[in-house]
A and B are shown apart, each in its own frame.
Chain A
Amino acid sequence: MPSNARPFEPTPELVREIEDIQSRYPNKMAACIPVLHACQGQHGWCAPEVIDFVSRLLDLPTAHVTGVVTFYTLFNQKPVGKHQVWVCRTLPCALRGGEDLLHHCEKRLGIHQGETTPDGQVTLRSAECLASCGTAPMMQVDKDYHEDLTKERIDEILSSLGAKLK
């Protein structure tokens, strides 16, 4: 952890959630991924102070927790926008227009995939298969799936996130 970073402080709700998570497993390490999810939920990304907190909590080397964070796509290694938009581009979605929809999102938001809008509202990313091929094309916005998408429907969804469309 950089010496100038403030330690990560979990809210009382998060402390309770972590206790609940830990009660499910026979050892401390197994809670690593769910606890990282929970901490990322509060902090927005897996900052060095979050990694430091989780490694102390679970008695794991910082290198172990860093290794886990860097392995999995859903752990953010840098700050992200308020909303996460994932557009699936794998074959079954691509056959039904998924790649076009990703370009459409880039155009409307004025950013490339992997980037966040300047107002910090939306981070746009391409996703690999999200198990929704029968209702393709699809995208995930935060915790919700949006299926059988059209460009019009995407505009509505992006507007509802408070993004300024171009």
Chain B
Amino acid sequence: MIEPVKHLSKNYGLDRSWTLEVYEKTRGHQGIRKALAMEPAKIVDEMKAANIRGRGGAGFPMGLKWSFMRPHPTKPAYLVVNADEGEPGTHKDRTIMEQDPHLLLEGCMIGMYAIGAHACYIYVRDELHLSKKRLWDAIHELRAKGYLGKKPFGLKDWELQIYVHTGAGAYICGEETSLLNSLEGRRGEPRLKPPFPAQVGAFGCPTTVNNVESIAAAPIALTMGGADFSKMSLLHEIGDGGCRLYGVNGHVEKGLVVELPCGPTINELIAMAGGVSKGRKVKGVIPGGSSTPVLLPTEKFHMPDEKSPLHKYHGMSVFDVPMGVDTMRIAGTMLGTCCLTVIAEGTCMVRVAQNLARFYKHESCGQCTPCREGTGWIDRIFEKIESGHGDLGELNEVSDIASSIIGNTICAFGDGAAGPMLGFVRKFRNEFEQHIKEKRCPSKGSIL
């Protein structure tokens, strides 16, 4: 059984864990002090060795992302932290900002120095008032001590400034280019790529955008040494390193956020949350936020290639395979933010699907026609089926609509909205058809 670790969450639960006083006693800014004595390129190398796969959902290696930054002859560089946590089922970044904001800020300082930036914006969704307050309070503490400013820690003439920027309630602003537009004071509509943010990002300048948890891992990885950090993971061999925060929510006895080496299984996480609520069996699990297609306990991991390091999991239940960026991709879904939403037997999957379809309809920014029209169309079809007024032709249309969204939009929102809808229809087709045949919801709309 995989055991919890205490690196990111070391200070969670300590009295006044969010203050500089506690942080200096427990962590002491070892990471940034070490960083300021290093060449920036060496820090990037350490991050590459740490194998930190982006913790916001896409799983892109953070060290590699940092290495894309090149000094521009006239323009400054920026670090932007994506703290727009809002993917349904995701509740982990908030714990870092509320419980240990100084860890995130130390990560920002290391990140800025490594990519050649003097300014960092932490884009926090506006609803997280406690996170914003704790971050601003922490920034003021650092400024007062001279840790942030012209000569951080009195060690290096490299000015570092951090600001908290707020959104105003838009899920799409978690998409990095949309976030940059929002930071610049515009509507949060995604930008076409290329150019990528490393070339043209915030205010037209080279920019790196990283998730809160990715950046918060930087001081830990640098203090420990990148390679040693990576080796904590059960999936270190396939380049998915370190430890990270896992969450469990939905139909479990006790929802939780727990720090583990990368690679717990879905069954292990459900057990840590006290099992499925009311002693029921599990019907499906959304592994990492609503944009990741649902997995069933009967699904098998398929990796017949004997040369693959993942072949050892071939034929096992996907619920017993270590959860990593690559293992979940092979399982036909995504690791996403690795916060599980557990759905128990007896739940109406049409209603589950419709709940999320409505979410995507509400949050589509409306810029691309396939996504704007398609998300609303799928929502209407699911609503009709759930209320007993749907027909088979419409159910078949869902596949066509979803297919015409996927790959045809500016950003990944479209894929993230359509992929899971296809998953629900394919994996629970009988249940959808039963609604249509019986002209009612066979489980009376049960979702609890």
Contact = CB atoms under 8 A, between A and B. Distances in A.
Interface of A: 24, 26-27, 29-34, 36-37, 58, 60, 64, 67-68, 71-75, 86, 89-92, 94-97, 99-100, 127-136, 140, 143-145
B188 A134 contact: no
B249 A72 contact: no
Given A91-B290, A94-B355, A95-B448, A129 B186 contact: no
Interface stretch (B50-58, B126-134, B149-157, B435-443): B126-134
B89 A34 contact: no
A95 B163 contact: no
Contacts of A144: 129
Q: Which 7 A-B pairs have the closest CB atoms?
A: A32-B185, A72-B168, A73-B169, A134-B255, A74-B169, A133-B249, A29-B185
B170 interface: yes
Given A30-B203, A97-B448, A133 B255 contact: yes
A29 B185 CA distance: 5
A67 B128 CA distance: 24
Contacts of B87: 129
B171 A68 contact: no
A131 B125 contact: yes
Interface stretch (B90-98, B315-323, B378-386, B405-413): B90-98
B86 interface: yes
Contacts of B91: 131-135
B355 A129 contact: no
B182 A26 contact: no
A91 B90 contact: no
Contacts of A96: 250-251, 448
B168 A75 contact: yes
Interface residues of B, number: 56
Nearest to A135: B255
B341 interface: yes
Given A36-B168, A129-B359, 5 more contacts: A37-B126, A60-B185, A91-B356, A99-B447, A144-B129
Given A26-B203, A34-B166, A136-B255, A131 B94 contact: yes
B232 interface: no
Interface in B64-120: 76, 85-91, 93-94
B199 to A, nearest CB: 18
A134 B249 CA distance: 5
B359 A31 contact: no
Interface string B217-258: 000000000000000000000000000000111110001110
Interface string B262-296: 00000000000000000000000010001000000
A134 B248 contact: yes
A83 B248 CA distance: 31
Contacts of A140: 127
Interface in B323-348: 339, 341, 343, 347
B90 A68 contact: no
Given A129-B88, A133-B339, A94 B188 contact: no
